């Protein structure tokens, strides 16, 4: 469905000409972006002609998909007003703000929580209703504001009677503890079953039903700090799960709000952890240089504050970004520093609970991925062997990712049989979890095996992977 404007949409026509996209090309891009979000769209060149020449405005997610498609071609975000569609649903802006004021930060976060559930009921969640493209530039303002002021001066809150009816909700430490327990449960399920598992998908609902009313309640500065910290952990987890299931736009919004909540909590290490998550997303999307900046922002504010294990993880994330950017020397230096910090870690250190996953096994696994990106198969094999040396019943997804990296290393070393053997093991693990990221790793392995497509072991691996690749996202 569309509604008509007055006269042609000259702005859209001008930007299409600037981007060098034909009517048919735009229609194809919009349909493809919609399909990635589970939407069935059938726009064609005639549809685009109506948008441009008659000023018709497509409904639903289409205006934002149009902006995303053009933005991908131009290599920058394209706001709706630039293409003459500013009166479309403004929902895609939700979650991208990093307010200076604490009250506005609460509204920004809770608005995102509410919108996500509304999207789910409509058939798809935030990643369909908020259809803008991932833009690494959206992290620039949050990172810089956090670096300048990593903690708010006060977060105590009294409820204004005009904000709702009835007595204000008085928040206490017991309420906060429930959120922390929910975060701990979610971390465990996510590691074992993947971000797309139904248990993990309960996190956005927990944010809406449990966290939002508390954030909008009344609390002292002490309780408020704890509340913001617990909410930040859950929000970061929602972002991580969205990232794992391939919903990059949703992940970006959750991460931005998690960083703002961590600032309100005055929890600098947690803020660094959110920045590290942003860095991993940017690196995964191919923005290595920006990934380096985000990891170094996490490091800079945590000098003298974070534990040795925490600093080790931040340096490891920095190494991942350097490797993706192709800087072998910088990656090697960051890996050495990460290993040094890890050697300094002691059991008695007061490490944050959210860092429970990090050990030498995880260090070795990420080091292997660094050397994979740097095309150093011997080093990949060495670190992968260390990463796979212990059983990982609790971290099933990580085990699957490590198996794929091991298969790539074997292939690049000329060991086709070993690569296929590891690939079969990886496919078996991937079939037990719900993780688009793991599936993408398997797809990458199969792509690397295409030159050996007629080999029996490769054919067998491809057949074993078929159900995984055909499963709905």
What pLDDT shows up at residue 118? 41
SS (H, E, C) 47-116: HHHHHHHCCEEECCCHHHHHHHHHHHHHCCCCCHHHHCCCCCCCHHHCCCCCCCCHHHHHHHHHHHHHHH
Give the 3-state secondary structure percentages of the chain, helix then strand then coil, rounded to 5: 70, 0, 30
Output the CA torsion 118→121→127→131 (10° steps): -70
Q: Which two tokens stand for residue 196?
A: 């797309």
Q: Evaluate whether 338 touches 316 at the Cβ level (below 8 Å).
A: yes
**Radius of gyration (C-alpha) of the chain in whole angstroms:** 23
Most distant pair of Cα atoms in the chain: their distance: 72
What pLDDT shows up at residue 205? 87
Question: With 0-12 CB in 10 A as exposed, 13-18 as middle and 19+ as buried, what is 99?
Answer: middle
CA angle 72, 77, 82 (to 5 degrees): 110
3-class DSSP state of 351: coil
Q: Give the helix ranges, DSSP H, for 194-307.
A: 202-206, 212-215, 221-244, 248-265, 268-284, 288-302
What pLDDT shows up at residue 1? 44
What pLDDT shows up at residue 125? 46
- Confirm whether pTM is higher than 0.85: no
SS (H, E, C) 141-158: HHHHHHHHCCCCCCCCEC
The Cα–Cα gap between 262 and 272 comes to: 9
Question: Taking Cα atoms as reference points, which of 391, 380, 393, 395 lies closest to residue 438?
Answer: 395
What pLDDT shows up at residue 121? 40
Q: Give me the residues paired with residue 58 across strands.
A: 2
Q: Evaluate whether 24 touches 79 at the Cβ level (below 8 Å).
A: no
The Cα–Cα gap between 279 and 254 comes to: 14
The Cα–Cα gap between 185 and 468 comes to: 26
Q: Which two tokens stand for residue 88?
A: 């479309």
What one-character DSSP code corresponds to residue 247? -
Domains for the chain: give ranges and CATH numbers. Answer: 2-89 (1.10.260), 359-473 (1.25.40)
Q: Give the helix ranges, DSSP H, for 413-435.
A: 416-430
Q: How many other CB atoms sit within 10 Å of the CB of residue 349?
A: 12
Question: Taking Cα atoms as reference points, which of 367, 92, 24 lies closest to residue 252?
Answer: 92
What pLDDT shows up at residue 197? 56
CA angle 467, 471, 473 (to 5 degrees): 150
Mean pLDDT by 10 residues, the chain (473 residues): 66 92 93 71 90 84 83 80 74 82 95 67 46 77 94 88 62 95 86 61 87 95 98 95 87 96 98 98 94 97 96 98 97 98 93 93 94 93 86 75 90 92 91 84 92 91 88 57
The Cα–Cα gap between 260 and 112 comes to: 13
CA angle 323, 326, 329 (to 5 degrees): 75
Q: Which residues contact 248 (CB under 8 A, 6 or more apart)?
A: 134, 242, 281, 285
3-class DSSP state of 209: helix
What residue has token string 């919903």? 247
How do 56-58 and 2-4 pair as beta strands? Answer: antiparallel
3-class DSSP state of 462: helix
Q: Evaluate whether 249 touches 131 at the Cβ level (below 8 Å).
A: yes
Question: Taking Cα atoms as reference points, which of 423, 336, 335, 323 lies closest to residue 376?
Answer: 323
What pLDDT shows up at residue 6? 60
CA angle 413, 415, 418 (to 5 degrees): 125
């Amino acid at each position: 469905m569309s509604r008509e404007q007055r006269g042609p949409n000259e702005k859209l026509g001008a930007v299409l000409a600037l981007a060098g996209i034909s009517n048919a090309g735009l229609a194809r891009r919009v349909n493809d972006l919609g399909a990635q979000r589970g939407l069935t769209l059938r726009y064609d060149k005639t549809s685009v002609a109506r948008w441009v020449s008659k000023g018709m405005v497509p409904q639903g997610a289409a205006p934002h998909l149009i902006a995303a498609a053009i933005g991908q071609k131009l290599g920058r975000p394209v706001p709706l007003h630039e293409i003459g569609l500013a009166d479309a649903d403004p929902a895609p802006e939700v979650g991208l703000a990093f307010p200076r004021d604490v009250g506005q930060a609460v509204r920004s976060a809770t608005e995102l929580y509410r919108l996500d559930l509304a999207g789910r009921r409509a058939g798809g969640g935030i990643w369909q209703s908020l259809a803008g493209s991932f833009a690494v530039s959206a992290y620039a303002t949050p990172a810089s504001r956090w670096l300048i002021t990593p903690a708010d001066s006060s977060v105590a809150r009294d409820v204004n009677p005009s904000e709702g009816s009835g007595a204000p909700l008085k928040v206490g430490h017991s309420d906060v503890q429930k959120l922390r327990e929910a975060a701990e449960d979610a971390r465990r399920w996510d590691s074992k079953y993947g971000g797309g598992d139904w248990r993990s998908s309960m996190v956005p609902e927990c944010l809406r039903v449990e966290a939002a009313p508390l954030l909008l309640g009344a609390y002292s500065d002490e309780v408020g700090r704890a509340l913001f910290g617990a909410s930040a952990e859950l929000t970061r987890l929602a972002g991580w799960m969205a990232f794992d299931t391939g919903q990059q736009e949703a992940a970006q919004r959750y991460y931005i709000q998690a960083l703002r909540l961590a600032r309100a909590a005055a929890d600098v290490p947690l803020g660094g952890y959110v920045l590290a998550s942003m860095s991993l997303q940017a690196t995964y999307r191919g923005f290595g240089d920006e990934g380096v900046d985000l990891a170094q922002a996490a490091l800079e504010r945590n000098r003298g504050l974070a534990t040795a294990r925490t600093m080790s993880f931040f340096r490891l994330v920095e190494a991942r970004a350097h490797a993706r950017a192709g800087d072998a020397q910088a990656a090697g230096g960051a890996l050495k520093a990460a290993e040094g910090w890890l050697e300094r870690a002691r059991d008695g250190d007061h490490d944050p609970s959210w860092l429970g996953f990090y050990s030498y096994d995880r260090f070795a696994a990420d080091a292997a991925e660094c050397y994979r990106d740097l095309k150093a198969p011997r080093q990949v094999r060495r670190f992968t062997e260390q990463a796979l040396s212990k059983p990982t019943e609790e971290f099933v997804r990580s085990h699957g990712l490590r198996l794929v990296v091991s298969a790539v290393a074997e292939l690049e070393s000329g060991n086709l049989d070993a690569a296929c053997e590891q690939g079969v093991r990886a496919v078996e693990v991937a079939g037990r979890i719900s993780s688009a990221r793991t599936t993408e790793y398997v797809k990458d392995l199969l792509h690397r095996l295409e030159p050996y497509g007629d080999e029996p072991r490769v054919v067998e691996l491809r057949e074993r992977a078929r159900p995984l690749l055909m499963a709905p996202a």
